[in-house]
A and B are shown apart, each in its own frame.
Chain A
Amino acid sequence: MSAVGAPGGRAVDPAGAHNYATEWAQAVRRLGFVPMSAADTERLLLSYTLRLAEALLHADEVAPVAAEVGQALVEAHLTEPDMIEWSVRSLADRLPDQVLGGSTGLDDRIAVAQGALAAGFARALRDRTFAQQERIARSAWQARDDVERALRDSEARFRAVFRGAAIGIGIADVDGQIIDVNQPFADMLGYSIEEMRQLNVTALFHHDDAPGMWELYGELIEGKHESARVEKRYYRKDGTSVWTDLAVSLIRHDDGRPRFTIAVAEDITQRYELQRRLRFQALHDPLTELPNRTLFFETLSRLLSASGRVGVCFLDLDGFKAINDSLGHDVGDRLLMTIARRLAGCVAEYGYLVARMGGDEFVILVDGDAGVDNMIAVAELALTAVSAPVFIDDHQLMVSASVGIVASDLVGTSAAELMKAADTTLYWAKAEGRGRWAVYDPERSARDIARSTLLAGLPVALDRDEFVLHYQPIVSLLDGRMLAVEALVRWQHPELGLIGPDRFIGLAEETGLIVRLGEWVLRQACRDARRWHVDFPEARLVVSVNLAARQADAPVIVDTVADALSSSGLPAELLQLELTESAVMGSGGEPLRTLYRLAELGVRLAVDDFGTGYSNLAYLRRLPITCLKLAAPFVEGIRGDEPDAADHRDERIVDALVRLAHALELWVTAEAVETEPQAERLRALRCDSAQGRLFGPPAPAAAISTRLAGG
């Protein structure tokens, strides 16, 4: 740039311009925000300094150049008021001196430049401000539009969900007034949408509504809950009902106040019905439609835990299996259906539960009056109901049943215990014959249990050698000498102690174990007797062993006895076998053939408990019997010291029996002799021998040895 036209031939001082730009840059950076580094700022302002300086030297360019610089300052974001103040003022105060060598002659131009710089700055700043204001406003509207569009889109989506949902959606205000529902909700309840908008939710009360449901709703609209979910039944407009799975949510105002409730309801009527049907099926017997054992036990347990006083009639048809087998399952099933109907009918008026436990077992659950009298009345009602003839096709069936009666106050409040007792009692009723009832008896049950304990232990006991023999002396009434001992078996039970034969011989006979037990007794008695014989040969002590009917009946008994004798070495004549009258006669009505063969072995045979059974005197005469043992009742009748009529009668019977025995050439032994007067009378009646407490109680073998030794 030439200095032509400059007043006074002045030119721009580059070093001065540089200094001026540096000061300018420092000033603007001090006075406001400059989005540039210091160096960049200085570089920029140096270019403006030079342009302004050149312009001031050329009068015709001053205004436009200064205006451009003013605009450029705005574009460079040097817009702080303090900055423009500095820039305008320094244009006069500093620039001429520093850059142009003084302001002489330039004052007019400087004033023009200041004005143009300020005007250019102001114009540009105004334009920029307008532009920025417009842009930010447009941005705000744009953002608002975006949000609103998003909101509209969102609303449209929710509308679509609301209208198109397969489930019912409804909105109500906090007063319960329904504001809007979708078509599915309206359809579900059989109203139009408009009709539903007239309703208040309280109008949708249903008498099946669960307790607390409306309280929950009340708390929800008070804002105490955010949501609630219930299964609710609604009345449809046509009066029918629909089951729904209902979820209600609370919508709040921004400040938290409850605003709306939104209900989402799904029609679950079919599912509910299915569940109900499945539950019915799960709890009822498909054949008779009576409650099944599951429902019975549920009910029983509930009643037991609630009242604790219930009764049960456990009923089982007599001979049902025979009907099933002979007439077929179809007839059997129809019979069960008839019986089920009758049983349900006979107690219907009392409301007792009748359940089928399975097979031909039914149970009547008596709630309330479970006293024995009422229970028996119920059982008899049931038996009567069962006993009427049943007509199926061409068959007329006469059916009976047995009933076990149990009341909870006899058994306790365990359902399982109660039904176990009912089962036991039913068994008792069955055992007594058809068409009967039995009432549970705790003592009998205890006995049964004890019995079954023994029964279970018997076979093991034999293997474990738990049996022992005791011997009771049989003495001569003539000279008091011990003629024989009767072997009596005892069970040394590991838990119950020493048990007498009355408690287990019957069980052994029932189970057949008596054969093995009897053989063990026989062999042990023979061994003990052999020892006495060896130790005390002149005592000639006979051992008397009882033979059970079942033992005596078996042909093998002869070999067993022979073997017992030979293996022990006991002379046959020192063994006496005792049989009852019925055992002697056997089951065929004739005396046992084995008796002769036993007699041939040389053993003695005695009839035990003579006088209590039925003896055929003709046979008795011919049989190889050596001794009669008079049954205890006759002996007990003889007191000797009380000469009343009964005494005399028993005494006359004993007298006759002794005479009879002697006529048959048989010895007579009296059992159960307890007193000396009894012994005296028996002796007077010429009874040969006796046993009983008077002559010594049953005692271990060692005690007998001691007695033989003269103790």
Chain B
Amino acid sequence: MQQPDGAPIEIDLSRPSAARVYDYFLGGAHNFEVDRQLADQIAAMTPNLPATMRAGREFLRRAVRVLLDAGIDQFLDIGSGIPTVGNVHEVAQAANPQARVVYVDIDPVAVAHSRQLLAGNESTGVIHADLRDPQRILAETRALHLLDFDRPLGILLAGVVHFVPDADRPGDILATLRAAAAPGSHLVISHSTFEDQPQEMLDAQRLSARTSTEITLRSRAEITSFFGDWTILEPGVVHMELWRPDSPSDVAADAQRFGAFGAVARNDDVAG
């Protein structure tokens, strides 16, 4: 049940939250018993999953570094969760103290946490919104006056688009976001896939329904389509570990074990 402005009518702490489960997998303590129970259950079923979460975080870190090297100094991180370790603003501001980051998440607890954590950091902002309402995300982001939409922007969708079912038209959502970004902007997506995956991955997906969201596994082609006509940077849409590893030794032979693709694309539209 929701209030008219879309906010939930209650915070149910008896149910696990995807953001807190994720934090737990990353070694954080921003979680409750119920979150840890679910996390342990998932980990028991798919031993790869904690590693997948970490791989996702590493992919994001590498992607942000690439964006920073490309001169991107403003980021819209949608589905940021609880930005504890290796969060975008730390990575970005370590490289460029002027970098600006707006975090967006649907989980009100994650949002409240982000606000606490970021209080006093004038270059960051936090928005409570749903990816399924990109117009609202864009409108609220503009209202913060932190990001300049006339300049290249980094849009980060790390492990979040797979929470949007096909019925909510993720393609349209991505198109709306891309359309708001100036030429030179970059789009980072990591997304769970069923390609190359064993059965237990698919079972774990069902288990994730215990959080308030369910994951939709998608094909490489579907994920590729989310980038629209933007130019996908090398090495393309690949298993996350294969995307520009820090060193060749970081890549295991079974890079597909994480069950998620990662990719970065750039808006080369000269017309803007």
Contacts and interface: CB of A to CB of B under 8 A. Distances in A.
Contacts of B7: 147, 150
A132 B9 contact: no
Interface in A16-74: 29, 32-33, 35-39
B29 A154 contact: no
A77 interface: yes
Interface string B1-34: 1011101111101000000100001111111100
Contacts of B132: none
A368 B151 CA distance: 87
A524 B32 CA distance: 125
Given A150-B5, A150-B7, A129 B29 contact: yes
Contact of B10 (A129, A147, A154): A147
Interface string A123-148: 00000110011011011101110110
Contact of B250 (A32, A38, A144): A38
Contact of B26 (A33, A36, A37): A33
B218 interface: no
Nearest to B61: A35
Contacts of A39: 246
A413 B261 CA distance: 79
Contact of B113 (A129, A139, A144, A254): A139
Contact of B11 (A77, A128, A132, A144): A144
**Chain A interface bracket (under 10, 10 to 19, 20 to 34, 35 or more):** 20 to 34
A689 interface: no
B1 A254 contact: yes
Contacts of B5: 150
B112 A38 contact: no
B144 to A, nearest CB: 18
A372 interface: no
B109 A139 contact: yes
B3 A154 contact: yes
Given A32-B27, A77-B85, A136 B109 contact: yes
Of A32, A79, A143, chain B has the most CB atoms within 10 Å of the CB of A143
Interface string B108-136: 11111101110000000000000000000
B9 A136 contact: no
B147 interface: no
A143 B112 contact: yes
Interface string B53-75: 11001100110010000000000
A39 B247 CA distance: 9
Nearest to A133: B29
Contacts of B82: 136
A140 B116 contact: no
B208 interface: no
Nearest to A125: B29
A110 to B, nearest CB: 27
Interface in A164-202: none
A128 B29 contact: yes
Nearest to B84: A132
Nearest to A26: B249
Contacts of A417: none
A151 interface: yes
A573 interface: no
A132 B30 contact: yes
Nearest to B10: A147
Interface string B84-125: 111000000000000000000000111111011100000000
Contacts of A139: 30, 109-110, 112-113, 116
Contacts of B65: 37
A80 interface: yes
A38 B117 CA distance: 26
A128 B84 CA distance: 12
Nearest to A140: B109
A146 B3 contact: no
Contact of A135 (B3, B53, B113, B250): B113
B156 to A, nearest CB: 15
A686 B30 CA distance: 148
B113 A38 contact: no
A136 B113 contact: yes
Nearest to B12: A144
Nearest to B91: A35
A560 to B, nearest CB: 96
22 contacts: A32-B54, A33-B26, A33-B53, A37-B61, A37-B246, A38-B246, A132-B30, A132-B84, A135-B113, A136-B29, A136-B109, A136-B113, A139-B112, A139-B116, A140-B11, A143-B11, A143-B108, A144-B13, A146-B112, A150-B3, A150-B7, A151-B3
Interface of B: 1, 3-5, 7-11, 13, 20, 25-32, 53-54, 57-58, 61-62, 65, 82, 84-86, 108-113, 115-117, 246-247, 250
Given A29-B250, A138-B116, A146-B112, 17 more contacts: A33-B25, A33-B57, A35-B61, A37-B61, A38-B246, A38-B247, A38-B250, A136-B30, A136-B32, A136-B109, A139-B116, A140-B109, A142-B112, A143-B11, A147-B11, A151-B9, A151-B10
**Closest 8 pairs between A and B when the two form their complex, measured CB to CB:** A35-B86, A139-B113, A132-B29, A143-B108, A33-B54, A136-B30, A142-B112, A139-B112
